[in-house]
């Protein structure tokens, strides 16, 4: 096994050094030194228990200052990671702002006291909020670059529009903008690293990937994470890249590499990969002690490469500053760090009553009357969909009306892009003159690429995190990605992006950033042969994520109106489409026109009744109706509520019905234990106890996955008979 590159093996700078002016050299040292002193001051505050976490950028300063000085804050875009103090300082984040974050002050501009220190965010500087998750930010950077390119090709899409999310997203773009994202060498082991390089390379996107290689991921040395110990060697065959492997303790070499990288990107040639070898003199964080796993010799060798000491020597050697001048400068910067920290310690704390602000958009409420355009369709009105102009009076399937909504909304809003696995008609456009086109494995996106072109409708790589991570980047730039995950069963690689990024962007940035994308996902069983990996449910896993709206229509008309609201609103939405309902006779409806919308959080009484309330949604709705018809024959009058949206859900409708019937069943297709019904049942027991004449009952599938053999599938999933039995039992209670 090859070992990590040590200082002795650090490659020569990629370009010959032209000298910088003395002022530039001093400015570089000033930034590097101040960054280190802010770290040191923060460490002191942590030891005094005045701040609560510390992770330093020590040893990485030269590389980061080089990157920042090659780029333009507020013009280019930045998706940094937690070590990037010197980068952010050089871009314009002040020491005071950094300390405000460390103390968790209300005025912390990055997160208002919600995130740990060094989790950067600044709208004016174009630093997009980052999480603690290693590597997720790379896909955001890719989506951001795609959005910038899209706007420069379609400047009209940047214009503001009233009546939907666009009213709240100012768009800025420059044709030659660059996106910088950074990560540690250990993080290159994450799949999302490779997924990001894939798309950046394929699309020649102007993204600079900066690997800050300090040789360790906490205690794990580089050769354990990276076969052969050098990530540059592994990525060298990606097409269209500019590559540089440099001594990241040398700010001038770093600056040169990033200047060349930026020039490559701005010229539209493709992405860049700058691999800087740096050191980590302060352990991973204050929670770590590297003496536990690094030899003394290794740590001493690293110390000899300290970028601060080297730069100081250089200033002296090149006669740029004298000893006295360096001392005076350092004293001034020490004082600057101290004053900034002292001021932050006096700052007001965040408001407790503000905790729930910015979970969802405060500007645009998807439950509001703005989205209440449910109307009776005028017979003969024009229909949407791939051919357009169809008569609206013929009943159409859920698949048709979802497709029609996508066509209508894409016509109306040029910020919408649609992508995912197999969603395009044909990636090789030239084939379209002779073939019909794919348009999704369920054909829900059929005809979109043919009508709107390959820049707006395209296939993604087979990588779910790639789909959602890029959507986060697109949406933070003000675009509206409406992406597809091919099957709910395969949403899990994207789970990290959905939970830790998509749903959290607004809250963790204290309302400064948001990523209101729509994820359409075919879900559910009752397929006869769908088996374990094409029949899963699991909606409660997603309703358990604050910040994410979850929609689950049961019929064509609701699917059309709710998808329109999902697209026009300003929150991220998981839009669950039951595969079994796509083409069923049940629930077909005429095309309702291009402005038909249904607000979230409004249940529908699909069958009025007086004896028992049955709360349900999705494919259980038609099964519950069958059960209710049979119950009626036994004299039991069941009221069925279709929730339609699961977050938010219509508590008022549930409560009103239960006050009338005093008996309730919550029924869903997903497994009974820990399912969506558990929460609804618990709340009913809690808040409506005095209205109940019987216990709250639940109906769900067995606590197992769905088997292939139809006999097993039928037994596992709730059937009309299962529901009927629960109705009869409950009435007799
Ligand atoms: C997805 C994820 N897994 C694990 C962690 C915990 N963790 C935080 S930093 C880190 C090591 C990162 O090492 P590297 O990428 O080399 O960056 P460095 O800290 O050395 O700059 C780990 C495992 C995390 N934050 N995110
Ligand atoms: Mg590392």
Map 427-455 to HEC letters.
CCHHHHHCCCCCCCCCCCCCCHHHHHCCC
* 217 Cβ below 6 A of ligand 1: yes
Side-chain-side CA neighbours of 496 within 13 Å: the count stands at 19
Side-chain-side CA neighbours of 146 within 13 Å: the count stands at 35
Mutate to test the pocket of ligand 1, among 218, 220, 285, 290 (most ligand atoms within 8 A of CB): 218
Cα 218 to averaged position of ligand 2 atoms, centre (Å)? 7
Mark 217-249 as b/e (b = at least 16 C-beta within 10 Å). Answer: beeebbbebbeebbbbeebeebeebbbbbbbbb
* 186 Cβ below 6 A of ligand 1: yes
* 282 Cβ below 6 A of ligand 1: no
Cα 179 to averaged position of ligand 1 atoms, centre (Å)? 22
Question: What gap in Å lies between CA 171 and CA 153, rounded to an integer?
Answer: 14
* 279 Cβ below 6 A of ligand 1: no
Question: What gap in Å lies between CA 257 and CA 69, rounded to an integer?
Answer: 11
**Which is nearest to 482 in space by CA: 377, 591, 547, 565?**
565
Question: What gap in Å lies between CA 314 and CA 530, rounded to an integer?
Answer: 68
Atom of ligand 1 nearest to the CA of 81: 21
* 661 Cβ below 6 A of ligand 1: no
Cα 138 to averaged position of ligand 2 atoms, centre (Å)? 16
Q: Whose CA is nearest to atom 20 of ligand 1?
A: 217
Residues in the chain where the model's pLDDT stays below 50: 1-16, 376, 378-383, 387-389, 391
Q: Report the run of H or E that residue 307 belongs to, with start and end.
A: helix 307-317
* 543 Cβ below 6 A of ligand 1: no
Mutate to test the pocket of ligand 1, among 4, 84, 217 (most ligand atoms within 8 A of CB): 217
Pair of tokens at residue 127:
């630093």
Atom of ligand 1 nearest to the CA of 132: 25
**Is the distance from CB of 655 to CB of 676 less than 8 angstroms?**
no
Question: What gap in Å lies between CA 178 and CA 172, rounded to an integer?
Answer: 13
CA 495 to each of CA 545, 574, 591, 705, 718: distance values in angstroms, whole numbers, following the listed order: 11, 12, 34, 19, 27
Cα 134 to averaged position of ligand 1 atoms, centre (Å)? 5
CA 6 to each of CA 216, 493, 556: distance values in angstroms, whole numbers, following the listed order: 12, 35, 63
- For the CA of 55, the nearest ligand: 1
**Is the distance from CB of 106 to CB of 123 less than 8 angstroms?**
no
Q: How far apart are the first and last CA of the chain?
A: 71
* 499 Cβ below 6 A of ligand 1: no
- For the CA of 214, the nearest ligand: 2
pLDDT at 276: 98
Q: Which residues contact 37 (CB under 8 A, 6 or more apart)?
A: 333, 334, 336, 337
550, β-bridge pairs:
574, 647
- Specify the residue for token string 């020590």: 58
* 216 Cβ below 6 A of ligand 1: yes
Cα 496 to averaged position of ligand 1 atoms, centre (Å)? 15
641, β-bridge pairs:
605, 615
Question: What gap in Å lies between CA 551 and CA 647, rounded to an integer?
Answer: 7
* 278 Cβ below 6 A of ligand 1: no
Count of C-beta atoms within a 10 Å radius of residue 608: 11
Question: What gap in Å lies between CA 584 and CA 663, rounded to an integer?
Answer: 30
Question: What gap in Å lies between CA 642 and CA 579, rounded to an integer?
Answer: 17
Atom of ligand 1 nearest to the CA of 188: 15
DSSP state of 689: G
* 218 Cβ below 6 A of ligand 1: yes
Question: What gap in Å lies between CA 675 and CA 253, rounded to an integer?
Answer: 56
Dihedral sign, Cα of residue 32, residue 35, residue 40, residue 43: negative
Cα 184 to averaged position of ligand 2 atoms, centre (Å)? 5
Question: What gap in Å lies between CA 312 and CA 440, rounded to an integer?
Answer: 60
CA 74 to each of CA 120, 124, 431, 495: distance values in angstroms, whole numbers, following the listed order: 14, 6, 42, 31
Question: What gap in Å lies between CA 151 and CA 148, rounded to an integer?
Answer: 5
Q: Is the peptide bond before 648 cis (omega within 30 degrees of 0)?
A: yes
**Is the distance from CB of 109 to CB of 58 less than 8 angstroms?**
no
**Is the distance from CB of 87 to CB of 68 less than 8 angstroms?**
yes
Question: What gap in Å lies between CA 431 and CA 705, rounded to an integer?
Answer: 40
DSSP state of 65: H
**Which is nearest to 105 in space by CA: 510, 504, 503?**
510
Cα 262 to averaged position of ligand 2 atoms, centre (Å)? 24
Count of C-beta atoms within a 10 Å radius of residue 276: 29
Beta strand residue intervals within 612-722, DSSP E: 612-616, 638-642, 645-647, 664-671, 697-701
Q: Indicate the Cα dihedral angle 144, 146, 149, 152, nearest 10°.
A: -70
Question: What gap in Å lies between CA 603 and CA 589, rounded to an integer?
Answer: 18
Atom of ligand 1 nearest to the CA of 284: 19
DSSP state of 3: P
pLDDT at 19: 82
Beta strands at 220-221 and 216-217: parallel, antiparallel or unpaired = antiparallel
- For the CA of 83, the nearest ligand: 1
Question: What gap in Å lies between CA 417 and CA 475, rounded to an integer?
Answer: 10
Cα 187 to averaged position of ligand 1 atoms, centre (Å)? 6
Neighbours of ion ligand 2 (CB under 5 A): 184-186, 214, 217
Pair of tokens at residue 199:
């798309």
Pair of tokens at residue 341:
């920290």
Residue 215 phi/psi, 5-degree rounding, is 85, -10
* 214 Cβ below 6 A of ligand 1: yes
- Specify the residue for token string 């064509």: 556
* 340 Cβ below 6 A of ligand 1: no
pLDDT at 385: 52
Q: Whose CA is nearest to atom 18 of ligand 1?
A: 184
Question: What gap in Å lies between CA 321 and CA 311, rounded to an integer?
Answer: 11
| Catalytically active residues, by annotation | 534
**Which is nearest to 426 in space by CA: 457, 456, 400?**
457
Q: Whose CA is nearest to atom 25 of ligand 1?
A: 133
CA 226 to each of CA 136, 229, 245, 295: distance values in angstroms, whole numbers, following the listed order: 18, 5, 15, 21
Question: What gap in Å lies between CA 530 and CA 669, rounded to an integer?
Answer: 14
- For the CA of 283, the nearest ligand: 1
Q: Which residues contact 40 (CB under 8 A, 6 or more apart)?
A: 337
Count of C-beta atoms within a 10 Å radius of residue 701: 23
* 133 Cβ below 6 A of ligand 1: yes
pTM for the predicted model, two decimal places = 0.95
Atom of ligand 1 nearest to the CA of 60: 21
- For the CA of 138, the nearest ligand: 1
DSSP state of 603: -
**Is the distance from CB of 212 to CB of 181 less than 8 angstroms?**
no
Cα 217 to averaged position of ligand 1 atoms, centre (Å)? 6
**Which is nearest to 658 in space by CA: 686, 699, 691, 690?**
691
């Amino acid at each position: 096994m090859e070992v990590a590159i040590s200082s002795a093996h650090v490659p020569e700078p990629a370009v010959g050094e032209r000298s910088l002016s003395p002022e530039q050299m001093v400015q570089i040292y000033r930034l590097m030194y101040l960054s280190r002193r802010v770290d040191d001051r923060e460490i002191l505050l942590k030891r005094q228990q005045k701040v609560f976490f510390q992770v330093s950028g020590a040893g990485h300063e030269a590389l980061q200052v080089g990157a920042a000085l090659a780029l333009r804050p507020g013009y280019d875009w930045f998706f940094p990671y937690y070590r990037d103090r010197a980068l952010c300082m050089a871009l314009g984040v002040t020491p005071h702002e950094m300390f405000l974050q460390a103390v968790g002050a209300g005025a912390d501009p990055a997160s208002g006291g919600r995130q740990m220190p060094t989790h950067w965010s600044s709208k004016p500087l174009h630093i997009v909020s980052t999480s603690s998750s290693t590597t997720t930010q790379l896909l955001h950077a890719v989506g951001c670059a795609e959005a910038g390119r899209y706007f420069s090709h379609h400047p009209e899409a940047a214009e503001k529009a009233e009546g939907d999310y666009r009213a709240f997203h100012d768009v800025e773009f420059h044709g030659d903008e660059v996106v910088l994202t950074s990560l540690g060498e250990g993080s290159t082991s994450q799949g999302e690293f490779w997924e990001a390089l894939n798309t950046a390379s394929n699309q020649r996107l102007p993204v600079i990937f900066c690997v800050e290689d300090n040789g360790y991921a906490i205690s794990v040395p580089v050769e354990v994470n990276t076969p052969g110990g050098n990530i540059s060697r592994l990525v060298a065959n990606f097409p269209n890249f500019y590559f540089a492997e440099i001594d990241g303790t040398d700010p001038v070499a770093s600056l040169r590499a990033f200047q060349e990288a930026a020039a490559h990107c701005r010229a539209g040639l493709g992405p860049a990969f700058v691999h800087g070898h740096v050191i980590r003199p302060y352990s991973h964080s204050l929670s770590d002690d590297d003496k536990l796993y690094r030899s003394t010799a290794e740590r001493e060798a690293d110390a000899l490469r300290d970028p601060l000491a080297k730069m100081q020597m250089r200033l002296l050697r090149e006669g740029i500053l004298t000893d006295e001048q360096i001392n005076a400068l350092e004293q001034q910067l020490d004082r600057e760090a101290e004053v900034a920290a002292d001021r932050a310690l006096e700052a007001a704390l965040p408001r407790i009553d503000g905790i729930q602000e910015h979970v969802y958009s405060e500007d645009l409420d998807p439950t509001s009357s703005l989205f209440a355009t449910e109307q009776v369709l005028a017979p003969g009105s024009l229909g949407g969909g791939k051919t357009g102009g169809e008569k609206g009076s013929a009943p159409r399937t859920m698949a048709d009306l979802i497709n029609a909504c996508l066509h209508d909304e894409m016509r109306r809003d040029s910020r919408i892009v649609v992508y995912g696995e197999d969603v395009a008609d044909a990636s090789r456009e030239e084939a379209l003159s002779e073939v019909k086109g794919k348009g999704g494995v369920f054909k829900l996106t059929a005809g979109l690429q043919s009508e709107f072109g390959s820049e707006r409708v395209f296939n993604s790589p087979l990588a779910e995190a790639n789909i959602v991570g890029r959507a986060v980047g697109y949406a933070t730039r003000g675009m509206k990605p409406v992406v597809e995950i091919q099957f709910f069963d395969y949403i899990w690689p994207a789970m990290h992006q959905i939970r830790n990024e998509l749903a959290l962007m607004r809250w963790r940035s204290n309302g400064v950033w948001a990523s209101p994308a729509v994820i359409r996902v075919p879900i559910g069983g009752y397929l006869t042969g769908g088996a374990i990996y094409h029949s899963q449910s699991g909606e409660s896993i997603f309703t358990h994520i604050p910040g994410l709206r979850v929609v689950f229509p049961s019929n064509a008309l609701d699917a059309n109106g709710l998808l329109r609201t999902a697209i026009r609103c300003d929150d991220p939405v998981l839009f669950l489409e039951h595969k079994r309902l796509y083409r069923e006779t049940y629930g077909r409806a005429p095309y309702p026109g291009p402005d038909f919308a249904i607000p979230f959080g409004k249940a529908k009484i699909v069958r009025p009744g007086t004896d028992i309330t049955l709360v349900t949604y999705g494919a259980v709705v038609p099964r519950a109706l069958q059960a209710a018809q049979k119950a009626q024959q036994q004299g039991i009058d069941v009221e069925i509520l279709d929730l339609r949206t699961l977050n938010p859900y219509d508590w008022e409708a549930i409560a009103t019905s239960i006050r009338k019937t005093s008996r309730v069943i919550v029924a869903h297709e997903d497994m009974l234990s820990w399912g969506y019904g558990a929460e609804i049942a618990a709340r009913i027991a809690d808040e409506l106890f005095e209205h109940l004449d019987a216990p709250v009952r639940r109906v769900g599938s067995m606590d197992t996955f769905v088997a292939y053999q139809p006999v097993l599938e039928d037994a596992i999933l709730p059937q009309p008979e299962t529901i009927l039995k629960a109705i009869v039992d409950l009435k007799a209670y």
